[in-house]
Amino acid sequence: MLKSDSFIDNDVKNVRKRLEKIDPVEIERGLKWLISFRVVFSIVLIFSTLIFSTNEDLPLDSQPFLSVYILSLIILFLSVLYGWSFRTFCRNPLFVYLQLTLDVFSVTAIIYITGSFNSIFTFLYLVVIIGSSMLLFRKGSMIMATLCSLQYGILIDLEYYQILEPIVKQVPLSTQVAWTHIIYRIVIIMTACFAVALLSGFLALQARKARKELKVMADHVKRVEKMATMGEIAAGMAHEIKNPLASLSGAIQMLKEEAPPGTHNYRLMQIVLRETERLSRIVTDFLLFARPCASDFKNVLIAPEIRDTVKIFMQDSLFAGRIHFEMDLDDEVSIGIDTDHLRQILWNLLKNAAESIEGDGTIEIDLIKTRSDRIFLRISDTGSGIPSDILDSVFNPFFTTKSNGTGLGLSIVHRMIDFYNGIIDVDSDLNYGTTVTIIFKYNAEKTVDHQSCVDNKIFDTQV
């Protein structure tokens, strides 16, 4: 198997695993619909049975009508009970499994009451399976399909061998239907259950994948629009700040040369110069965020740049020895980009990944070009992860959870990636790590804003 094929297989497995992970918010929303549908179904069942018995001039307390009324009231009571306990257990997957399991028993009871083998309500099994796939995806739908198949098979067998008597007296099933036809019916129902489970589970995953992709694109567009607005303001502010900052730095440097070393004034001027240099770096970063430029735009092989960046990164005493790298790189993948920008993107992402790891940990780097000419660069770590409530804010300028951070690192990364028409996405599990995925289009054309590069260089020389 090719390395790229192995990467894609692993990627598909990881994506499927993430997609099949049950989202408490989606469970809560889905359960509301499920409980509402159950209430409507029980009411419709009561009134339809009442209308049928009235039209046929049959007593309301005769069988099977009485059993249908009782079962409908039980379903209605359970729905009220589910609604009452909704706030407490609405995000618990076991609560969903309990409801769906009881639904399967309810459907089996309806089939038994309405004629077992001759019942027209076997399709309700498929309704339960489809509902389970929407809430619990493929795993839940397969469990419900198994439960439906077992219950239906056992019900028909018990009636065939006259262990379970039908509600309405009729000719024994064993005398009116051949055993081969019984097996044929059971196999058809079981096949239908599992086929619907597989299909609905697949469609539920595709729907969730589509929703996630739309959310990623929508978030990306929002960030781009927000950063474009902030970038224009930032560029003006950075330029206005750099001019007096350059004058201030020059004046303090001259005063420092006149002050005797070791004196109080000399130490104060050292502090001022150090803070001036720090402000200059922040303003330079801010200007890079506002107006990224590709002054050295060329076709670059990504894998050698990753290896060189990792080699330099491992020289840092904070990370050497405790951070281990696992790399799966396609050496033939290249992209049109400024080499300095690529290195800065890699450095910022590696630094964030390493800083999130307490003690020993691993950073995985994967690089692949897919058949659709898209380049995927994925950096995963085994760090502490990012809380879900701040995950959407990590690319915002000046947002940081570090005591000594400026909050511009990831903002600059996002701005640069957007500059090259790429997309960046972050997926994180608290206490399990974070995965950053960057997607570039292979050989995408990029128009370089040379005037922006000239402006940045002019202002860089002023401090």
pLDDT tens, position by position, 356-407: 888 889 999 999 888 778 899 999 999 888 887 787 778 777 677 666 666 6
C-alpha triplet 6, 11, 16: angle, nearest 5°: 130
Residue 7: pLDDT band with limits 50, 70, 90: very low
Tell me if 174 sits within 8 A of 106, measured CB to CB: no
Name which of 285, 286, 419 is nearest 347 in CA terms.
Answer: 285
Q: Report the DSSP beta bridge partners of residue 425.
A: 437
pLDDT in tens, 406-416: 667 788 888 88
Rank 100-109, 232-241, 355-364, 424-433 by mean pLDDT and report only the highest: 100-109
Residue 4: pLDDT band with limits 50, 70, 90: very low
Give the chain's mean pLDDT.
Answer: 80
What is the mean predicted confidence (pLDDT) over 190-200?
95
- pLDDT at position 327: 92
Taking the alpha carbons at both ends of the chain, their separation in whole angstroms is: 54
Tell me if 325 sits within 8 A of 367, measured CB to CB: no
- pLDDT at position 394: 81
Residue 453: pLDDT band with limits 50, 70, 90: low
Tokens of 319: 């990370």
Domains of the chain: 18-215 (no CATH), 295-447 (3.30.565.10)
Residue 15: pLDDT band with limits 50, 70, 90: very low
- pLDDT at position 287: 65
- pLDDT at position 405: 62
Distances (CA, A) of 200 to 37, 97, 126, 134, 242: 18, 17, 10, 8, 60
| Residues 315, 345: Cα–Cα separation, whole Å | 18
